[in-house]
């Protein structure tokens, strides 16, 4: 990798969506099967911590573990805490050393460069998920989306076992880059709450 990818734009976009979630939307369904909005926010909270540790290669508290999801763990401070964790995540991946060597995330050993791309994809796609579930606008640049597409490039190698994506959903050939990414990540770009 010639230079690290900046996760800042994606982290800010997701943080903005998280801040806009209303209390009465926490039990709403999301494009992630079996996840409510609260569950997805709990997942984002956990993945931000896990991938920040992965960037720093900081496992003093023990190895990383697969994520568990439980929206009932959200406390009154989640609208502040989750955006702060997303900011810390983006900052951690600005260090070129984060993208080098091996690391861990979610109980999986993987190269730093792959971990960074997965972190970016998780932030971008879950930003779309939360926005879609709560009726909020969501935008990230095509450059950010194209960086995520590197995960799905057969020339880039195989995803590690247990990678966090479902089976791809077909999208039209002329779909926008974000719709293509969402489809590759196992979501229906036409998903809408209440349908």
- Structural domain containing residue 122: 8-141
Mean pLDDT of the chain: 89
Domain count within the chain = 1
Q: Does the pLDDT of residue 163 top 50, yes or no? A: no
Is position 89 within any domain?
Answer: yes
Q: What is the pLDDT of residue 3?
A: 62
Q: Does the pLDDT of residue 96 top 50, yes or no? A: yes
Is position 192 within any domain?
Answer: no
Q: Does the pLDDT of residue 28 top 90, yes or no? A: yes
**How many residues are recorded in the chain?**
195
Residues 6+ positions from 158 with CB-CB distance below 8 Å: none
Nearest to 124 by CA among 167, 162, 92, 90: 90
Q: Which residues pair with 108 in a beta bridge?
A: 105
Q: Does the pLDDT of residue 194 top 80, yes or no? A: no
pTM of the model: 0.91
Q: d(Cα 53, Cα 4) in Å, to the nearest integer?
A: 17
The proportion of the chain whose per-residue pLDDT surpasses 90, expressed as a percent, equals: 71
Please tell me which of 33-37, 64-68, 191-195 the model is most confident about, judged by mean pLDDT. Answer: 33-37
Nearest to 46 by CA among 26, 65, 67: 67
Q: Does the pLDDT of residue 155 top 60, yes or no? A: no
At 162, the pLDDT band (50, 70, 90 cuts) reads very low
Here the CATH number for the domain that contains residue 79 is 1.20.120.450
Higher pLDDT, residue 66 or 53: 53
């Amino acid at each position: 990798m010639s230079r690290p990818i900046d996760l800042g734009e994606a982290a800010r976009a997701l943080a903005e969506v998280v801040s806009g979630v209303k209390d009465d939307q926490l039990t709403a369904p999301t494009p992630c099967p079996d996840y409510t909005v609260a569950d997805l926010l709990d997942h984002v909270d956990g993945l931000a911590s896990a991938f920040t540790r992965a960037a720093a290669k900081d496992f003093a508290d023990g190895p990383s573990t697969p994520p568990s999801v439980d929206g009932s763990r959200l406390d009154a401070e989640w609208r502040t805490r989750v955006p702060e964790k997303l900011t810390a995540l983006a900052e951690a991946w600005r260090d070129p050393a984060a993208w080098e060597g091996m690391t861990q995330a979610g109980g999986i050993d993987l190269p730093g460069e792959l971990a960074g791309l997965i972190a970016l994809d998780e932030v971008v796609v879950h930003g779309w998920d939360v926005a879609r579930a709560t009726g909020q606008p969501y935008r990230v640049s095509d450059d950010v989306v194209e960086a995520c597409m590197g995960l799905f490039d057969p020339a880039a190698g195989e995803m590690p076992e247990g990678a966090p994506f479902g089976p791809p959903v077909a999208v039209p050939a002329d779909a926008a880059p974000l719709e293509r990414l969402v489809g590759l990540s196992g979501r229906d770009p036409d998903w809408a709450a209440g349908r």
